[in-house]
Chains A and B, each alone.
Chain A
Amino acid sequence: MKAGALELGHASKVTATVPQKGVNRGMSILDLFLRIIVIIATLGSAIAMGTTNETLPFFTQFIRFRAKYSDLPTFTFFVVANAIVSAYLVLSLGMSIFHIMRSRAQASRIALIFFDAAMMALLTAGASASAAIVYLAHKGNTKANWFPICQQYDSFCHRTSGSLVGSFIGIIIFILLVLFSAVALSRR
């Protein structure tokens, strides 16, 4: 009877730790999956913005009307920021896999949270700056005498507006990534 009671006690302990470990591992796998999604999103944004090149069908004797992303420094910053965040995420995939295998790692999780937060800030800065310029290109500003260029460069405008979507999706997923890392830290 005593041996049976001991066995029961041991079994209940094992079943208590397995779901906690299982939840931690599940969160780490979800973390890896989300990271891959953000890589695709930011890479897509960088490529969509970087391949903008619209030439209007008319031209004067002196100049040719052409719009590229490099004409606006803010869009250049956007492409660079998305590229940097993509590269960082590819490098952090290895760290994420390490966390799946070792659920107990703490110092590396804190480092990952720091870099995730910093990269999220960089991504948000690029996305919001480009959003401001796209808004200006659509609406213009009568007080500053800034003409809405979207009325002429239609395809350029569509491309740049669409490339913002991937960046904003990446920002939301980054917030989730920080949350998962913090919850995994607190559960040990």
Chain B
Amino acid sequence: MEKSESTKIDVVETNKERKGKAPLLGKAPVVAAAVVHAKGGGAKRGIAIFDLILRIAAFASALGAAVAMATTEETLPFFTQFFQFEASYDDLPTFTFFVVAMAIVVAYLVLSVPFSIVCIVRPHAVVPRLLLIIFDTVIIALTTGAAGSSAAIVYLAHNGNQDANWLAICQQFGDFCQRVSGAVVAAFVTVVILIFLVVLSASALRRHH
């Protein structure tokens, strides 16, 4: 009986010693990897917070552009016997496209805020960031399309074109022109912010190793 007890104790001790040694050897690289993981997480969280702030700024700019274009309506104080001189955004189909496109961009930016918050809460999640990058790129294309086409029409309205015999209508509708030009500028600001957002998401996607 004594022998069996002593052997039992011996076995237990050696087991404990083995258990005590092996994790110590194996823990060091695990701890180092965990530290790098946590540091990467901190930086990614900071990037995600900045991403959210920029997204709200882009939303404000896009909303300003859409509203500024949609509320244009100028009526000149003189009129002939047949019609009244008025200008609003739906007189030019390009401006109608601008309002619709900016409305879509505003809706997208509002819907993407929860994804951004998910990226803040879980800094190492890959799928939300990937989704944000791809949809942000598509929205860049849409916004630049709306802004570019309206910029071409605004340029034409300011300068006219002699070869095509197109008159510069800004000379008559001054207030309308200013409003519309301001909306185009706001749309281009949105584009710049969106490009920055894509680069941020890309830099947060990389794996720290």
User: Are A186 and B164 touching (Cβ within 8 A)?
Assistant: no
Q: Tell me the complex Cα distance, A132–B153, Å.
A: 7
Interface 0/1 of B184-204, CB less than 8 Å to A = 000000010001001101110
Q: Tell me the complex Cα distance, A157–B61, Å.
A: 35
A44 in the interface (beta carbon within 8 A): no
Tell me the minimal C-beta distance from B181 to chain A in angstroms.
Answer: 14
Residues of A within 8 Å of B150, CB to CB, are: 132
Residues of A within 8 Å of B152, CB to CB, are: 74, 128-130, 132-133
**Inter-chain contact count A-B, CB under 8 Å?**
138
Which residues of chain A in 132-159 are interfacial with respect to chain B, using CB atoms and an 8 Å cutoff?
132-133, 135-137, 139, 141, 143-147, 149
Q: B157's contact among A110, A144, A174, by CB below 8 Å, is which? A: A144
Q: Check A146/B167 contact, CB under 8 A, given A121-B144, A183-B130.
A: yes
Tell me the minimal C-beta distance from A57 to chain B in angstroms.
Answer: 18
Q: Check A113/B202 contact, CB under 8 A, given A73-B155, A146-B167, A182-B133.
A: yes
User: Are B144 and A125 touching (Cβ within 8 A)?
Assistant: yes
A127 in the interface (beta carbon within 8 A): yes
A43 in the interface (beta carbon within 8 A): no
Tell me the minimal C-beta distance from B77 to chain A in angstroms.
Answer: 18
User: Are A114 and B144 touching (Cβ within 8 A)?
Assistant: no
Interface 0/1 of A172-188, CB less than 8 Å to B = 00110011011101101
Q: Tell me the complex Cα distance, A186–B130, Å.
A: 8
A100 in the interface (beta carbon within 8 A): no
Q: Tell me the complex Cα distance, A132–B134, Å.
A: 26
Sample 23 A-B pairs with CB under 8 A, ordered by A number: A67-B163, A71-B161, A72-B164, A73-B155, A113-B198, A114-B202, A117-B198, A120-B144, A124-B140, A124-B144, A124-B148, A125-B144, A125-B147, A128-B144, A128-B146, A135-B94, A144-B167, A147-B164, A149-B164, A175-B134, A175-B137, A179-B137, A182-B130
Chain A: residues with CB nearer than 8 A to chain B? 67, 71-74, 106, 109-110, 113-114, 117-118, 120-121, 124-133, 135-137, 139, 141, 143-147, 149, 171, 174-175, 178-179, 181-183, 185-186, 188
Which 7 residue pairs spanning A and B have beta carbons closest together? A129-B152, A125-B148, A132-B149, A128-B148, A124-B144, A128-B145, A128-B149
Chain B: residues with CB nearer than 8 A to chain A? 87, 91-94, 126, 129-130, 133-134, 137-138, 140-141, 144-153, 155-157, 159, 161, 163-167, 169, 191, 195, 198-199, 201-203, 205-207, 209
